[in-house]
Amino acid sequence: MEADIWIDLDTSWESLSPLGFTEARELADTEAGFLLSGMVYGYTFSYRPLDRTRGISEEFILESAAELGTRLPPPVDARGRENRAMLLYRYYPEKEEYLRISSWLSAAIPSVIGYGEGRYILGHEGKMEAYRQALKEAVREYARARIRNKPRRLEGSLFLIDTPTVGVQAGKYTVRMRLKISLREVDAYKTW
């Protein structure tokens, strides 16, 4: 599996300074770890939808089911173009991980697509926010089509199918993620 990561540098577009590239590498390692862990182990989530009538705010809690940690490989390719560092990470799953991935990719587990946005001016944090928004929107869209009444809380798992599509448009990072989803618990309101 691969994660092709690009990081905008805070340096001039004419050169890659070593300090700028070192910082970009650290940010890319964080992002690659987040994505590759999602492709190998998936994420767990707890989502409480916004309900203005009941005065309940929206809450989305996302955690990696497990992390690659020190097993995150170094990038196999690192290059710079203009004001961007581009790093390619490849991870080769072990047998147990491969079996887990194969079970997630089963046709019996529903697929969903999530779209998210994050403010470009926030830099890498804006990009990570776009990922989180895409994951939350995937859960919302999946639930909307299948659950008639707004639930109190949803809990389940998400599995990242492949590297998300990331771009910049109108001052925002835009992200498109293809995922598998499994709802573990749907907590409905008992009374109105």
Distance between CA atoms of residues 127 and 173, nearest Å: 6
- Per-residue 3-state assignment (H helix, E strand, C coil) for 3-30: EEEEEECCCCCCCCCHHHHHHHHHHHHH
Name the residue with higher pLDDT: 18 or 160. 160
Model confidence at 15: pLDDT above 60? no
Residue 191, pLDDT score: 61
Pairing relationship of beta strands 2-8 and 84-90 according to DSSP bridges: antiparallel
Residues 22-64 have pLDDT tens digits of 888 899 999 999 999 999 999 999 999 888 888 889 999 999 9
Residue 117 structure tokens: 């946005």
6-35: buried (b, 16+ CB within 10 Å) or exposed (e) per residue? bbbbebeeeebeeebbebbbebbbebbbbb
- Give long-range contacts, CB 8 A cutoff, 24+ apart: 109-112: 109/159, 109/180, 109/181, 109/182, 110/142, 110/180, 110/181, 111/161, 111/178, 111/179, 111/180, 111/181, 112/138, 112/139, 112/141, 112/142, 112/179, 112/180, 112/181
| pLDDT single digits (tens) 111-149 | 999 999 999 888 889 999 999 999 999 999 999 888 888
Top-ranked range on mean pLDDT: pick from 5-14, 45-54, 105-114: 105-114
What was the pLDDT predicted at 56? Answer: 87
What pLDDT score does 16 carry? 47
More confident of the two residues 53 and 95: 95
pLDDT at 167 over 90: yes
The C-alpha atoms of residue 79 and residue 14 are separated, in whole angstroms, by 14
Name the token pair of 80: 């710079």
Closest by alpha carbon to 38, among 183, 184, 179, 182?
179
Per-residue pLDDT tens digits for 63-91: 999 898 888 889 999 888 777 889 999 99
